[in-house]
A and B are shown apart, each in its own frame.
Chain A
Amino acid sequence: MGRTRLRCRPAPSLALGIETRRSRPWSAPTRLRGALVPLALWGGLAPPSLAQTASAGADSDPTWTRGFGYGVTLSAVQSRDDLLAPLRWRGPGFGLKASWDWGGNDRRHAVALRMPISILSNRFGHRGYAFAPALTYGFLTRVARSQDTAAGWLGGRMRLDMFNAFYESWDDEHLYWITAYSLGPTGAWRGRFRGAPAWATLDVPLLAAVARPPEPRLNQIDRLTRLGGHLVDPQKDARVVAFPDYAAVHAAVGVVLRVGGSSFSVSYILDWSRYALPARVALLSQSVSISRGPAT
């Protein structure tokens, strides 16, 4: 097993601050070189999470186990929706996550669900709330592998990202949402950091169907008092757009830690998205996740 260490010189792998010590030679089927390296290192499962579970022994790549994963996320959330006003709202979030990974050593499928809620406020101290579930499915193929289990994966990912906000103190009658069904390439790097399994992932949606609130809207036309309204209404009238009209990045880095005989994953997840219709909306979420199992 190769050890990982922190490096202080610019290199593609250092974009994450980690690198495998013995990153060469790469073994079959493909060597990662040049421009492929950052893709391999910034790639893949979002939100990723990895742990060595009972199934780990069955995998030739112990950094990516299969099965069910679950965990929690703590987030710092920011939003700006000019449909309401060009105000930045920010605040903490808390969420649950679950995942299911399956497939062989060279091809993997990964489904993940996140259910975070957050409490927001603007610079006037006005309060808001957001519910931002995300459901993803990724299919990845291993494109490179080093001698010591570091591997690069490339593939595609379908995502459903919702951000459903209620800016109570500013507009107590409407929901402000952006719902994006997106498709795009994904890449993942999986290796080791200081001896522990580690990974990095990147999703960049290229095609999306994006739903936003209509303009104009009547008073209280959103079904605030009904849970179904919060989930169904934000799906309506989606518009198909391509990058960069809908621009988003979903990236993550993580490592598996072992404490007292139990292993769990700690990861940092970055979600950013921007869309312009019917008015500019931008979201930025940075999360720390703690999970067990291959929560993807």
Chain B
Amino acid sequence: MWVAALFAATLAACLTEPQLKVRSPATPTDVGDGWAVSTPEKEGLDGEGLDRALDLFYSDTAFHNAVALLVARHGHLVLEAYARDASERERKRNIQSATKSVTSLVFGITRDRGYFGDLDQPLHEILTQDFGSDPRKKDITLRHLLTMTSGIAFDNDDFTVELLVDRPGDPVAHILDKPLYAEPGDSFYYRDADPQLLSAAVTRVTGETLEQIARTDLFQPLGITDFHWEADGAGTTLGPIGLFLRPRDRVKVGQLVLSRGIWQGRRLVSEQWIELSTSTQVMGHDPEAPYGFYWWIVPELGAVTAMGHGGNYIFVARESDLVIVLESLPHANADAGAPLDRFLGLARLVVAAAR
């Protein structure tokens, strides 16, 4: 009989499925990475309010693919919660389209070096590739690239497949070979193609890739030592996607913007560029929100945010002197991830705790 029972047990066998999230103390740890740690109370954050945010973060329903939630206030890290365990602290993940916001910072650094003084400079004056038979393409400017209004019809779904899987020899020419869906400057259309052209322009003008500039002038001063930034087949850093950062390093990026370009007393990016890039330049859609130079603007909370697929946010609430980072499993789709409206539900709780 025990044989039958064994057989039945075999039939009923299941793989184990642990809790998706395990709640643990969210007190930040000083790991010597440049972050000063503090407590929410010391930095004027209501603990109960933060608990409500943590409840949401740890819920399986609203944020089941979230892996990290961090909050900094007044320049101190005050909350560090990981959905699985603290090993997530050392794990760099794809920040997805939040990469665009870092690209914006690096572009600002090149402007601070003296390049790209005129944002209305036509792209064809910079790049050497053939712009094709459509003369309107020669009207594309740097500003158009920064505001997703170049008019180049290149869907994001196609972008990564064609550029990163097929890996054409000249990715810029491949992008420029696409038709226009609108006159340059006329219509916002969120695509990876525009920041990739911007990345190519930076490399063409400065002789350095975004990754090289970021390594020396951004990440090194921020104490970000463990990162990964992908490049296309020509070696040009991906401007729209492909930057991998650890959770605490993401908060540093947000803190830099919150401090208007200063990290621990050292200016890394000019205040002018921070102001310009995080103020409304165009009205974006999907989601409907004002858009700066690769930063989404949230007027309701006096904030700007980098936003990446699946629920990767670097949220900078200036009026509350807060940075909120939500890190999610990098590739979950919209149904499983955290779209902006869902994330803002969490951000409101944190911002409310600061009032």
Q: Do A and B come from one complex?
A: yes
Name A's B-contacting residues (CB within 8 A): 7-8, 10, 14-17, 78-80, 84-88, 90, 123-124, 126, 168-174, 216-221, 223, 225, 229, 270, 282-284, 286
* A219 and B309 within 8 A (CB): yes
Given contacts A10-B2, A171-B333, contact A218 B241 (CB under 8 A): yes
B residues 182-212 near A (Cβ < 8 Å) are none
Contact pick for A286, options B11, B93, B161, CB 8 Å: B11
Residue B113 lies at the interface, judged by CB distance under 8 Å to chain A: no
Given contacts A8-B3, A87-B20, contact A221 B165 (CB under 8 A): yes
* B1 and A8 within 8 A (CB): yes
- Minimum distance in angstroms from B102 CB to a CB of chain A: 16
Residue B32 lies at the interface, judged by CB distance under 8 Å to chain A: no
- Minimum distance in angstroms from B78 CB to a CB of chain A: 27
Name B's A-contacting residues (CB within 8 A): 1-4, 6-7, 10-11, 13-18, 20, 60, 64-65, 84, 92-94, 96, 157, 160-161, 164-165, 228, 230, 238, 241-242, 244, 309, 329-333, 335-336
* A85 and B20 within 8 A (CB): yes
Contact pick for A220, options B15, B160, B332, CB 8 Å: B160
* A218 and B94 within 8 A (CB): yes
9 contacts between A and B (CB under 8 A): A123-B17, A171-B332, A172-B331, A173-B331, A216-B244, A218-B160, A219-B164, A219-B242, A220-B161
Contact pick for A219, options B2, B17, B64, B331, CB 8 Å: B331
* A171 and B331 within 8 A (CB): yes
Chain B residues closer than 8 Å to A17, beta-carbon distance: 3-4, 7
* A170 and B94 within 8 A (CB): no
CA A218 to CA B309, docked complex, whole Å: 12
Given contacts A123-B17, A216-B93, contact A169 B241 (CB under 8 A): no
Given contacts A8-B1, A169-B336, contact A286 B10 (CB under 8 A): yes
Q: Which residue of B lies closest to A84 (CB)?
A: B329
- Minimum distance in angstroms from A127 CB to a CB of chain B: 10
Q: Which residue of B lies closest to A216 (CB)?
A: B244
Q: Majority SS of interface residues in chain A?
A: loop
Chain B residues closer than 8 Å to A90, beta-carbon distance: 14-15
Which 4 A-B pairs have CB atoms at the shortest separation, nearest pair first?
Answer: A88-B17, A220-B160, A171-B331, A172-B333
Q: Which residue of B lies closest to A86 (CB)?
A: B18
- Minimum distance in angstroms from B47 CB to a CB of chain A: 29
Chain A residues closer than 8 Å to B7, beta-carbon distance: 17
Given contacts A78-B15, A80-B17, A86-B17, contact A170 B160 (CB under 8 A): no
- Minimum distance in angstroms from B243 CB to a CB of chain A: 10
CA A241 to CA B315, docked complex, whole Å: 43
Given contacts A8-B1, A218-B160, A218-B164, contact A270 B10 (CB under 8 A): yes
* A221 and B164 within 8 A (CB): yes
Contact pick for A225, options B161, B330, B335, CB 8 Å: B161
CA A218 to CA B95, docked complex, whole Å: 10
CA A87 to CA B333, docked complex, whole Å: 16
Q: Which residue of A lies closest to B61 (CB)?
A: A124
Chain B residues closer than 8 Å to A221, beta-carbon distance: 160, 164-165
* B10 and A218 within 8 A (CB): no
CA A37 to CA B184, docked complex, whole Å: 78
Q: Which residue of A lies closest to B4 (CB)?
A: A17
Contact pick for B13, options A171, A216, A218, A284, CB 8 Å: A284
